Amino acid sequence: MSGCLDGVRVLELARFQAGPRGGMLLSDLGAEVIKIEPPGGEETRRMPPMVRGQSLWEREMLVKIDDPVAGELYVPGVTVRLSRTPGRVGPIPAPGQHTDEVLRDLLGLDGAAIDALRRGRAVC
């Protein structure tokens, strides 16, 4: 999978956790990622001191997850809790982890069609 975006240039303008993580993933796939930040730097770098309020953690409104690509992330917890389906915050899928499954099971493509998409760099 590495290198399938070689030669692609990306401007990463995102301001919150999902955006910078996306930039890192694109870089891992070979893209040249140019990070644009506001003066004073990214707000998420100042986030840990702001999230020390104990009630946020006790109510699981904010949870910490360890991501294999981005490292330690602070993400919103499940805000609506139902008794039978309480929900949970789980691991973030790796890039391309479900690509074949989606192309095959949801779009009905066979192995040859998926290989052709990869050769054409439409998917990694």
| 71 shares a domain with 113 | no
Q: Which tens digit of pLDDT belongs to each residue from 86-109?
A: 888 888 787 788 999 999 999 999
Backbone angles phi, psi at 75, to 5 degrees: -130, 155
Number of structural domains, the chain?
A: 2
- Residue 84: inside a domain, yes or no? yes
Tokens of 20: 């910078």
Task: Inform me whether the pLDDT recorded for 28 exceeds 60.
Answer: yes
The answer to whether 121 and 115 have CB atoms below 8 angstroms apart is: no
pLDDT at 68: 77
pLDDT at 9: 92
| 66 shares a domain with 41 | yes
pLDDT at 47: 61
pLDDT at 98: 92
| 52 shares a domain with 36 | yes
Query: How much is the CA Rg of the chain, to the nearest whole Å?
Result: 18
pLDDT at 85: 85
State which residues form the domain around 108. 93-124
| 123 shares a domain with 108 | yes
Task: Inform me whether the pLDDT recorded for 2 exceeds 80.
Answer: no
- Residue 115: inside a domain, yes or no? yes
- Residue 69: inside a domain, yes or no? yes
Q: Which tens digit of pLDDT belongs to each residue from 35-66?
A: 887 777 666 666 665 556 677 778 788 888 88
Q: What are the distances in angstroms from CA 112 to CA 46, 102, 108?
A: 47, 15, 12
- Residue 2: inside a domain, yes or no? no
The whole-number average pLDDT for the span 3-24 is 79
